[in-house]
């Protein structure tokens, strides 16, 4: 357990994430989808429509359908719990580029790095990211890549935490393209 002044962070390594029970999987999926939908609604309220409602629904369906595969490939999973033992943040790391499991032991992929909106500004995302980056470094990975959503504040968060922007790329979700920013961090620095 890693301590943050506002939350407790639990870390699962070496395939332990694939062994979690169905209730925990539902809690994680609920947390991630709620965080994504909340970010979507906040962006609309602020007059910045990043994605359509249809794109959001398709993204959530795709992410949910692949969640077990993500867990099986994860070498690190970090969960932040508030004082009421409610899940308020997640972060995962897996080998490869994110598109396919990686035999490449130099690059790993970050995914599911989400913090509940009511817990933003407490450095939870930063601490979760530090935990999975440390696990990656300990395993000898040289770079960590991710696909970041285009919600306001997301890219700035990753820049502050050592990631560089590599360019936008669409991910086809049925007939709709869902744009991401490809980001990468050099873990050797």
- Would the CA dihedral through 47, 48, 54, 59 be positive or negative? negative
Instruction: Give the list of residues 6+ apart from residue 82 with CB closer than 8 angstroms, or none.
Output: 6, 7, 88, 119
pTM, entire model: 0.81
* DSSP letter, residue 47: T
* Diameter of the chain measured on Cα atoms: 44
Closest CA to 13 of 134, 157, 123, 174: 134
The confidence score (pLDDT) of residue 45 equals 80
The confidence score (pLDDT) of residue 182 equals 79
C-alpha 148/C-alpha 161 separation (Å) is 13
The confidence score (pLDDT) of residue 97 equals 61
Helix 53-73 crosses helix 22-45 at what angle (to 10 degrees)? 150
The confidence score (pLDDT) of residue 175 equals 44
pLDDT tens per residue, the chain (189 residues)?
555 667 888 888 887 887 888 888 888 888 888 877 888 787 778 777 777 888 788 878 887 887 888 788 888 999 999 988 889 999 999 887 655 555 567 888 898 888 888 888 899 999 999 999 999 999 999 999 888 877 778 888 999 999 998 877 665 544 445 567 778 889 988
Angstrom CA distances, 125 to 4, 47, 53, 67, 117, stand at 11, 25, 25, 20, 11
The confidence score (pLDDT) of residue 131 equals 93
Q: What is the total residue count of the chain?
A: 189
Structure tokens at 70: 């993500």
* DSSP letter, residue 96: B
The confidence score (pLDDT) of residue 98 equals 57
């Amino acid at each position: 357990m890693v301590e943050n002044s506002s939350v407790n962070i639990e870390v699962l390594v070496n395939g332990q994430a694939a062994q979690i029970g169905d209730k925990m999987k539902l809690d994680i999926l609920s947390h991630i989808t709620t965080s994504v939908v909340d970010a979507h609604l906040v962006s609309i309220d602020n007059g910045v429509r990043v994605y359509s409602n249809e794109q959001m629904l398709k993204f959530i369906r795709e992410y949910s359908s692949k969640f077990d595969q993500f867990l099986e490939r994860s070498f690190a999973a970090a969960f932040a719990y508030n004082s009421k033992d409610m899940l308020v943040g997640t972060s995962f790391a897996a080998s490869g580029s994110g598109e396919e499991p990686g035999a490449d032991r130099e690059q790993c992929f970050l995914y599911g790095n989400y913090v509940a909106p009511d817990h933003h500004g407490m450095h939870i995302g930063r601490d979760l990211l530090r935990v999975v980056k440390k696990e990656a470094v300990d395993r000898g990975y040289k770079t960590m890549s991710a696909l970041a959503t285009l919600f306001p504040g997301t890219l700035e968060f990753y820049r502050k935490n050592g990631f560089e922007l590599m360019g936008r790329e669409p991910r086809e979700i049925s007939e709709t393209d869902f744009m991401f920013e490809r980001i990468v961090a050099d873990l050797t620095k």
